[in-house]
Amino acid sequence: GAVVSQHPSWVICKSGTSVKIECRSLDFQATTMFWYRQFPKQSLMLMATSNEGSKATYEQGVEKDKFLINHASLTLSTLTVTSAHPEDSSFYICSARVNRDTEAFFGQGTRLTVV
Protein backbone atom coordinates (compact mmCIF):
# COMPACT_ATOMS: atom_id res chain seq x y z
CA GLY A 1 0.00 0.00 0.00
CA ALA A 2 0.90 3.66 -0.20
CA VAL A 3 3.15 5.11 2.49
CA VAL A 4 2.66 8.27 4.47
CA SER A 5 5.57 9.34 6.63
CA GLN A 6 5.14 11.69 9.57
CA HIS A 7 7.95 13.33 11.48
CA PRO A 8 8.80 13.67 14.30
CA SER A 9 7.14 10.75 16.05
CA TRP A 10 7.37 12.53 19.37
CA VAL A 11 8.40 15.96 20.54
CA ILE A 12 8.62 17.80 23.84
CA CYS A 13 8.65 21.57 23.80
CA LYS A 14 8.42 24.44 26.21
CA SER A 15 5.30 26.51 26.60
CA GLY A 16 5.27 29.45 24.22
CA THR A 17 7.43 27.87 21.54
CA SER A 18 6.31 26.60 18.14
CA VAL A 19 6.52 23.08 16.81
CA LYS A 20 6.41 21.92 13.20
CA ILE A 21 5.17 18.48 12.19
CA GLU A 22 5.77 17.16 8.69
CA CYS A 23 3.64 14.75 6.71
CA ARG A 24 4.97 13.26 3.47
CA SER A 25 3.41 10.95 0.94
CA LEU A 26 6.37 8.83 -0.12
CA ASP A 27 5.15 7.00 -3.20
CA PHE A 28 2.18 8.96 -4.44
CA GLN A 29 1.06 12.53 -4.93
CA ALA A 30 -1.54 13.86 -2.56
CA THR A 31 -3.37 17.02 -3.52
CA THR A 32 -5.24 16.73 -0.25
CA MET A 33 -4.01 15.69 3.17
CA PHE A 34 -5.84 15.64 6.47
CA TRP A 35 -4.71 16.54 9.97
CA TYR A 36 -6.28 14.90 13.01
CA ARG A 37 -5.90 15.24 16.72
CA GLN A 38 -6.55 12.39 19.10
CA PHE A 39 -6.97 12.60 22.86
CA PRO A 40 -6.33 9.52 25.02
CA LYS A 41 -8.94 6.83 24.54
CA GLN A 42 -10.87 8.95 22.08
CA SER A 43 -11.42 8.84 18.35
CA LEU A 44 -9.76 10.91 15.65
CA MET A 45 -10.90 14.52 15.50
CA LEU A 46 -10.40 16.17 12.12
CA MET A 47 -8.68 19.50 12.51
CA ALA A 48 -8.27 20.61 8.92
CA THR A 49 -8.05 19.59 5.30
CA SER A 50 -4.78 20.62 3.72
CA ASN A 51 -4.97 21.55 0.02
CA GLU A 52 -1.88 21.75 -2.16
CA GLY A 53 -1.31 25.29 -3.36
CA SER A 54 -4.19 26.83 -1.46
CA LYS A 55 -5.36 27.60 2.04
CA ALA A 56 -6.33 24.84 4.39
CA THR A 57 -9.94 24.28 5.33
CA TYR A 58 -10.33 24.23 9.08
CA GLU A 59 -13.03 22.46 11.05
CA GLN A 60 -15.26 24.45 13.32
CA GLY A 61 -13.58 25.30 16.59
CA VAL A 62 -10.03 24.87 15.33
CA GLU A 63 -7.96 28.05 15.52
CA LYS A 64 -6.31 28.63 12.16
CA ASP A 65 -3.81 31.09 13.62
CA LYS A 66 -2.69 28.59 16.18
CA PHE A 67 -2.50 25.54 13.94
CA LEU A 68 -0.80 26.72 10.77
CA ILE A 69 -1.01 24.34 7.84
CA ASN A 70 1.10 24.60 4.73
CA HIS A 71 0.79 22.24 1.76
CA ALA A 72 3.65 23.47 -0.36
CA SER A 73 3.99 20.47 -2.68
CA LEU A 74 2.07 17.40 -3.76
CA THR A 75 3.99 15.28 -1.30
CA LEU A 76 4.40 17.47 1.76
CA SER A 77 2.09 19.10 4.25
CA THR A 78 3.19 20.69 7.51
CA LEU A 79 1.34 21.52 10.69
CA THR A 80 2.85 24.15 12.94
CA VAL A 81 1.53 24.50 16.46
CA THR A 82 2.31 28.09 17.35
CA SER A 83 2.83 29.41 20.87
CA ALA A 84 2.18 25.97 22.26
CA HIS A 85 0.48 25.52 25.62
CA PRO A 86 0.17 22.41 27.78
CA GLU A 87 -3.41 21.93 26.60
CA ASP A 88 -2.06 21.46 23.06
CA SER A 89 -0.38 18.28 24.23
CA SER A 90 -1.92 15.51 22.16
CA PHE A 91 -1.41 12.94 19.45
CA TYR A 92 -1.48 14.48 15.97
CA ILE A 93 -1.93 12.27 12.89
CA CYS A 94 -1.97 13.08 9.20
CA SER A 95 -3.51 11.08 6.39
CA ALA A 96 -3.75 11.11 2.62
CA ARG A 97 -5.49 9.20 -0.12
CA VAL A 98 -4.22 8.27 -3.55
CA ASN A 99 -7.70 8.93 -4.87
CA ARG A 100 -11.31 8.77 -3.68
CA ASP A 101 -11.58 5.08 -4.53
CA THR A 102 -8.85 4.04 -2.15
CA GLU A 103 -8.50 3.99 1.59
CA ALA A 104 -6.82 6.76 3.55
CA PHE A 105 -3.25 6.03 4.60
CA PHE A 106 -2.08 7.39 7.89
CA GLY A 107 1.24 8.70 9.09
CA GLN A 108 2.75 7.23 12.24
CA GLY A 109 1.49 10.12 14.32
CA THR A 110 3.29 12.68 16.46
CA ARG A 111 2.96 12.77 20.21
CA LEU A 112 3.39 16.37 21.31
CA THR A 113 4.04 17.19 24.94
CA VAL A 114 4.18 20.83 25.97
CA VAL A 115 5.81 21.50 29.32
Partner 1 sequence: EDKVVQSPLSLVVHEGDTVTLNCSYEVTNFRSLLWYKQEKKAPTFLFMLTSSGIEKKSGRLSSILDKKELFSILNITATQTGDSAIYLCAVDSFGNEKLTFGTGTRLTIIP
Site residues for partner 1 per CB under 8 A? 1, 6, 9, 32, 34, 41-44, 46, 49, 93, 95, 100, 102-109
- Which residue, 9 or 18, has its beta carbon nearer to partner 1? 9
- Cβ partners under 8 Å of residue 22, min gap 6: 6, 7, 76, 77, 78
Q: What are the phi and psi torsion angles at 106 (to 5°)?
A: -110, 145
- Which residue, 18 or 103, has its beta carbon nearer to partner 1? 103
State the nearest-atom distance from the C-beta of 44 to partner 1, in Å. 5
State the nearest-atom distance from the C-beta of 16 to partner 1, in Å. 28
State the nearest-atom distance from the C-beta of 70 to partner 1, in Å. 18
List strand residue ranges (DSSP E) for 43-99, in order: 44-51, 57-58, 67-73, 76-81, 90-97
State the nearest-atom distance from the C-beta of 49 to partner 1, in Å. 6
DSSP state letter for 68: E
Residue 103 CA to residue 115 CA, distance in Å, equals 36
- Which residue, 32 or 70, has its beta carbon nearer to partner 1? 32
